[in-house]
Amino acid sequence: MRKFNITQKVILGMGIVGTIIGFYGKWNGWAYNDYFVFFYTGITMTWIVFLPSNKSCCFPFWKKKAQKQ
């Protein structure tokens, strides 16, 4: 399991809460526009936490393109 810093923990918590609100709204029959915003935002915040947080950028095709010139 990965260790998260405080910011990642807060974002993960907000994502889980947003997803639960979205499921609750779907289950209680809220209008689509009401519950989908919470669900979509919660799911997005949840998976953003697991993205790599290093500062380096990866350009896998950049070296091949530079060599052709």
pLDDT in tens, 28-67: 888 888 888 989 999 999 998 888 766 656 666 665 555 5
pTM confidence score: 0.68
Residue 64 confidence (pLDDT)? 55
| pLDDT band (50, 70, 90) for residue 8 | confident
E-only strand ranges, 8-67:
none
Q: What is the mean pLDDT of residues 10-30?
A: 91
Distance CA 17, CA 38 (A): 9
Position 38: which residue type?
F
Contact assessment for residue 19 and residue 45, using Cβ atoms and an 8 Å cutoff: no
| pLDDT band (50, 70, 90) for residue 21 | very high
